[in-house]
Amino acid sequence: MVLSGPYVSVMENPTLEEIAREVIDCAYHIHVELGPGLLESVYEVVLAKALEERGYRVVRQVPIKIQFRDLKFDEGFRADLIVNDCFLIELKSVEKTSPVHAKQTLTYLRLLKFPPRSAAELRCGYAQRGSPTHRESTSRRCVFRTSHPSGE
């Protein structure tokens, strides 16, 4: 799948793990600087720019079509960010995620035919203390998950 958009020079063949590490690092630093509570679109544009500055190719609001048998439906969805044509980023600016958020990411992965571990769900809100999936910066918290939404 080749995505169109304004591209910057791409890092030479990074692995999914390297992309995930860079995404988490960028997201963490953005969260430290901007804090929680902004609209999702703010985090989206800033994260896209930060990743592009690190040499990644990033496309925002990518249409995801549905294909069933020989039928194609344009009434699909939009992925927040896709990095290097192989890594999905779904952003949530909510206090608490629900199971539908993980289902959304899993649906996007399947429709894009991306491998299960090629996604990051980034939630900028407040995480519960002691959660193994959060990093803290002073009193602000952000949850970054790069594993498969179903936990696999």
8-40 per-position pLDDT tens digit: 445 578 999 899 999 999 998 998 899 888 899
Q: Count of H helices and E strands in the chain? A: 3, 6
Q: Name the token pair of 152.
A: 């696999």
**CA 119 to CA 115: how far, in whole Å?**
9
Look up the pTM and report it: 0.74
Confidence of residue 131 (pLDDT cuts 50, 70, 90): very low
Containing 110, the helix (H) or strand (E) segment is helix 99-112
* Domain range annotation of the chain: 16-145
The angle, 0 to 180 degrees and rounded to 10, between the axes of the packed helices 40-53 and 16-34 is: 130
30-84 per-position pLDDT tens digit: 988 998 888 999 999 999 999 999 999 999 999 999 999 999 998 779 999 999 9
